[in-house]
Amino acid sequence: MQVVSVAPNDAAAWRRLADLWLKIPATDEDDGTTRYERATTASYIAYQRAGTASEEADSLVMLATAYGKRSEWRPALNLLALALKLDETPELKTTYDLLREKYGFRVSNFSVDSDAASPRACFQFTESLPKRTDFSPYIAVAGQDKPALSVDDQQLCVEGLKHGESYSISLREGLPSTVGEALLG
């Protein structure tokens, strides 16, 4: 804590403090929750004190790291995306792309309602889907030109299927979400 008391307006000092909080390993008695919260706070203060776009980006990356330690991936991804806008580096782009692929907008599960009067296949996503959007360009059902679709928050369903038939359904890259990310291919 002495590092920031000597230079309370120095963004780099606040980032160093956040880094120290993040580097202390968890133990059986202490899962690190308090340290990660403190690192989040120190990173945010570093961002507020930043004087250049590069310092802002570095502080946002540290803040994203603190959120990642807490498994809060949506804020972490949003912060990394903002950092990329401020100071895009190949390393940061690679980190963002890897985390985006693993924790970003994606299909989380699927289900088939085969016992319903009108069977349907549903896809559940990790984020909400936008209302009043035509999803038909992003859904391909073999043998059908324009399948009937329904959307409910994080679920997209292909409706009007028939009992006893097999279907090949593909979700296309670009399917939009409410978080500004599209489905990856």
Phi, psi (rounded to 5 degrees) for 158: -95, 115
> pLDDT of 110-147, one tens digit each?
999 988 888 999 999 999 999 999 999 999 999 888 89
Nearest partner of 74 among 138, 18, 128, 131, judged by Cα: 128
Instruction: Indicate the pTM of the whole model.
Output: 0.84
CA proximity to 107, closest of 135, 126, 132: 126
Please write the tens of the pLDDT for every residue from 21-66: 999 988 888 888 999 999 999 999 999 999 999 999 999 999 999 9
Interatomic CA distance for residues 183 and 185, integer angstroms: 7
Architecture category of domain 2-103 in CATH: Alpha Horseshoe (1.25)
What are the sequence ranges of the domains in the chain?
2-103, 107-171
